[in-house]
Chain A
Amino acid sequence: SQQGEEDPQALSIQEGENATMNCSYKTSINNLQWYRQNSGRGLVHLILIRSNEREKHSGRLRVTLDTSKKSSSLLITASRAADTASYFCATAPRTQGGSEKLVFGKGTKLTVNP
């Protein structure tokens, strides 16, 4: 079963605009990660936010985490055509004995038009 669900499934914006993607999950987590996938290629790690963190930045990326709402958002500022990709959230569920697996959502497909 999916732990993380991204919203929206698809997003189309103009270059220079900001893009916001959301991820909701069901169970308590140790951390939440965001990955990017260019068409047909492997996933690339973008950012990891731990359960005791509320916000994290990396370049043009800003990730927030609200554990009370079991949700996270990924903001890409000043988007570029090269940001066109699918973005996945992945959670490390907190389980008895420790979690050793990441559970991926279905992804948001972002298109940035030049």
Chain B
Amino acid sequence: DADVTQTPRNRITKTGKRIMLECSQTKGHDRMYWYRQDPGLGLRLIYYSFDVKDINKGEISDGYSVSRQAQAKFSLSLESAIPNQTALYFCATGTGALETQYFGPGTRLLVL
């Protein structure tokens, strides 16, 4: 079984809809991250969490919110989706930025 899982893997939604992307991990890591990948722009950090009670904004948090329900679960929400949020979203876990991060398989989101 994969150590970091993401659901759904693909999602098509309409402008203005609220959607949630979910991430679960079995690695026992405290730190979890949400990234967004756009063609030609690499990965950009949306939010990160050091533990259940610690949530931090990343580089591009506007339009997004997160919830850390448990050590193993970190959800990303788009409160009112817009077309420029169409992207590939990745969840990652780690023991710290000084160490390796482990990525999920990604969620491909299309906002019409």
Write the residues of chain A forming the contact surface with B, with a CB cutoff of 8 angstroms. Answer: 2, 30-31, 33, 35, 40-45, 48, 88, 90, 92, 99-107
Contacts of A40 in B (CB 8 A): 88, 106, 108
User: Which label, helix, strand, loop or mixed, suits the secondary structure of the B interface?
Assistant: strand
Nearest A-chain residue to B4, judged by Cβ: A42
Selected interface stretch from B11-19, B43-51, B63-71, B74-82: B43-51
Given contacts A33-B101, A42-B103, 12 further A-B contacts (CB under 8 A): A42-B104, A43-B90, A43-B92, A45-B102, A48-B100, A90-B101, A92-B98, A100-B97, A102-B97, A103-B45, A105-B42, A106-B41
Number of interface residues of B (CB under 8 A): 28
CB of A43 within 8 A of CB of B99, answer: no
Contacts of B58 in A (CB 8 A): 101
Nearest B-chain residue to A1, judged by Cβ: B59
Nearest A-chain residue to B103, judged by Cβ: A42
Nearest B-chain residue to A33, judged by Cβ: B100
Question: CA A20 – CA B45 in complex, angstroms?
Answer: 27
Can you give 29 A-B contacts (C-beta < 8 A)?
A: A30-B97, A31-B98, A33-B101, A35-B103, A41-B105, A41-B106, A42-B103, A42-B106, A43-B92, A45-B100, A45-B101, A45-B102, A48-B100, A88-B42, A90-B101, A92-B98, A99-B97, A99-B98, A100-B48, A100-B56, A101-B58, A102-B97, A102-B101, A104-B43, A104-B44, A105-B42, A106-B41, A106-B42, A107-B42
Question: CA A33 – CA B44 in complex, angstroms?
Answer: 16
